[in-house]
Chains A and B, each alone.
Chain A
């Protein structure tokens, strides 16, 4: 039913800004726009501190209400998130949009059993009785391939392995059949083989449920594995986005290129993004121009004066005054993308 070409995207974020108050306000997100279609997986990529988690958490307004100022617009499943009351918000969280956290050991309450925490979410959003919720929770644990699900229902978080905990976290997040899943580096804390299993599981569940996912990661290899499209963030802005294959084969933003070359040379998977000289700017004192200009080889006088707009070009956006030319064998990259 969502196949009709006129149906709007599930997620539509327009010009989102997030500022944390205090003596020196931190501008963590500075005008981010993107959309995610139904059943689409968007990878959110970028260095530590560039605002990936802040962007993600904004989609369920998880930041401390008193200190956080939001701007722009977040439209998810036809609802205006920033305009919701607290009550609407708590009904929306976990049912339409849910979240998987980076460190499952910390994301589960240590004094409740894992099963109880899943059942609790189910009861919150469906109102079914405790024993039905329990049955459903066990079914979910089984669905995420946790062996002996009925026994594991009774386990406390510290009694599970890291991989199993993350599976349980996924079961919890999917327990109320959400349309959008927010995944904040869900595999970073796991070792490589477990990481792959979790990614495969997520992919499988995503296809099966027609789920949209926004997947935050440092790791380009992981992004390639899971995403349809990627958005690359820098200093609270998306500086480039487009289909994953195009971005990989023909990065247009110098920062994206820097990211890619720093990982590609070290092998695709499992390496952290680094090796670009210099450091990201202070989010409490952003420069007036392109935030990357100070570290950019190609920067000109225009770059330090104003922030470049994102020029939309057939699903491909680049916020740069001097984008890199596509490689000569452009046809090959295009073919790759399809």
Chain B
């Protein structure tokens, strides 16, 4: 097991490294000069050149890359051009806010999806199954920014029950655990939970129906096991794949949804990404993408490690 974990970690390293390369190149591939955002368009050539030296842009690319990587590893992702604050601090605040949203949305979507999908799988082709299937198709195909807007119009504008914008009263970015702040979570969490809900429902429905059609379920009944005992066997069989799918969905959620966070002005990483793009704040953009990608690599690694721990069939390979 320890060896397996080590091997997975080693496999993840080149992926992480390529991510850093892509993130680095982003600045140079992006249209326009990275200095445009800092220097006025009509700045004299001497000023531009001085800035180039200051930012290290006069060095060859590989040199720039390794310098940048070294700083990044030390926790220095530069300063935001727009706010002048360190990128790392900006990104961390945003990531925490996004994690908050993601975890709530995941808990809601996964638990509801597991129950719905499980019921549908057991009642294959029955009425519950049809309803669950319809819901999951809607969940996956409805554009969620649109859903977000509809929810805002209904529950915020018309009924005035819930706040529509921000993560706390007065547009504060720092999260607090109180009822007032929790109210700000309701609409974005609901909106964000719809897609994982749909996907988890669909996945678990298919898995459960498949397991129930297996011979060993007949064999369990043939040896006198109760429905409850059979259910436990089904859960244990479904768990590895279901957890893998959930892990992936959690990954997407943690990446932050640009659209949903923008609709609700939620100060998370998606919103930050949006801001960075529109303000052409390249250091911020670079840092945000880098950290989000690293979170994704880490999550994939976790799924890879956890899955064989619960599925004996995968242990050998």
Which residues on A are within 8 Å of B, measured CB to CB? 60, 62, 90-95, 98-99, 101, 103, 106-113, 120-121, 124-125, 156, 158, 172-173
Contact = CB atoms under 8 A, between A and B. Distances in A.
B17 to A, nearest CB: 36
Nearest to A93: B224
Contact of A120 (B216, B221, B225, B313): B225
Closest CB pairs A-B (n = 8): A94-B224, A94-B223, A106-B215, A93-B224, A107-B219, A121-B223, A99-B222, A109-B216
Q: By DSSP majority rule, is chain B's interface helix, strand, loop, or mixed?
A: helix
Given A103-B215, A111-B312, A124 B223 contact: yes
Interface in B214-261: 214-216, 218-226, 229, 233, 236-237, 240
Contact of A106 (B216, B220, B223, B225): B216
A62 B216 contact: no
Contacts of A99: 219, 222-223
Interface string B187-223: 0000000000000000000000000001110111111
Given A107-B215, A111-B237, A156 B222 contact: no
B221 to A, nearest CB: 6
Nearest to B225: A124
Given A94-B222, A108-B216, 5 more contacts: A91-B224, A103-B215, A109-B216, A124-B226, A156-B312
B174 interface: no
Given A109-B220, A110-B216, A120 B236 contact: no
A207 B224 CA distance: 25
A93 B216 contact: no
Interface in B283-317: 311-313
B222 A93 contact: yes
A60 B222 contact: yes
Given A101-B215, A109-B216, A112-B236, A90 B311 contact: no
A62 B230 CA distance: 14
27 contacts: A62-B218, A62-B222, A90-B221, A90-B224, A91-B224, A92-B224, A93-B221, A93-B223, A94-B222, A94-B224, A98-B222, A98-B223, A99-B219, A103-B215, A107-B215, A108-B216, A108-B219, A109-B216, A109-B236, A109-B237, A110-B312, A110-B313, A120-B223, A121-B223, A121-B224, A121-B225, A156-B313
Instruction: Output the residue of B215, B218, B219, B237 with the most chain A CB within 10 A.
Output: B219
B225 A90 contact: yes
Contacts of B222: 60, 62, 93-94, 98-99, 101
Instruction: Output the residue of A92, A103, A110 with the most chain B CB within 10 A.
Output: A110
Given A111-B237, A111-B311, A111-B312, A95 B216 contact: no
A62 B217 CA distance: 11
A92 B221 CA distance: 11
Nearest to B315: A156
A153 B299 CA distance: 35
Instruction: Output the residue of A90, A103, A113 with the most chain B CB within 10 A.
Output: A90
B313 A158 contact: yes
Given A62-B218, A101-B215, A106-B215, A111 B225 contact: no
Contacts of A92: 224
Nearest to A110: B313
A124 B224 contact: yes
Contacts of A95: 224
Contacts of A103: 215
B229 A124 contact: yes
Contacts of B233: 109, 112
B195 to A, nearest CB: 29
A109 B220 CA distance: 8
Contacts of A109: 216, 220, 233, 236-237
B312 A101 contact: no
A53 B81 CA distance: 75
A91 B224 CA distance: 6
A94 B224 CA distance: 5
B224 A110 contact: no
A113 B233 CA distance: 12
A62 B215 CA distance: 11
